[in-house]
């Protein structure tokens, strides 16, 4: 699974977001549109979820899924501990540790969605 659409939709699923829709605007990064649940007090229909490009959304995923994130000289490593094993998701970071962290966290979340406990 390497396609951004699949990663974003699976990450939304891992968060428990229902009714998420993939959006790919011509002037911005792809994101998932998540509708607010019935009865939500907001005047908006929903919110954008962009863990591939938003550190806030990626951190929300990491905390919600209890992921461990480690950044070393050349890569960011995310660990998801399942009842059977530890699963590692490494991303080389080059000059952008934040982008690598977002991608590694989103990949781990997609794995969690595909392998529910």
What is d(CA 32, CA 46) in angstroms, rounded to the nearest whole number? 10
- Residue 2 has a pLDDT of 65
Question: Domain limits at 106?
Answer: 4-114
87 forms bridges with which residues in the sheet?
80
Q: First-to-last CA distance in the chain?
A: 19
The CATH number assigned to the domain holding 38 equals 3.30.2120
What average pLDDT does this structure show over 37-54? Answer: 84
- Residue 41 has a pLDDT of 75
Q: How many domains does the chain divide into?
A: 1
What average pLDDT does this structure show over 12-24? Answer: 93
């Amino acid at each position: 699974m390497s396609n951004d659409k699949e990663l974003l939709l699976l990450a939304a699923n891992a968060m428990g977001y229902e009714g998420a829709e993939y959006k790919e605007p011509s002037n911005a990064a792809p994101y998932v549109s998540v509708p607010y649940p019935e009865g939500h007090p907001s005047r908006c229909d929903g919110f954008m979820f962009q863990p591939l490009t938003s550190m806030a959304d990626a951190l929300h995923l990491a905390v919600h899924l209890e992921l461990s994130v480690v950044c070393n000289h050349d890569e960011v490593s995310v660990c998801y501990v399942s009842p059977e094993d530890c699963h590692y998701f490494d991303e080389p970071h080059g000059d952008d540790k934040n982008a690598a962290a977002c991608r590694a966290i989103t990949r781990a979340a997609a794995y969690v969605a595909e392998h529910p406990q």
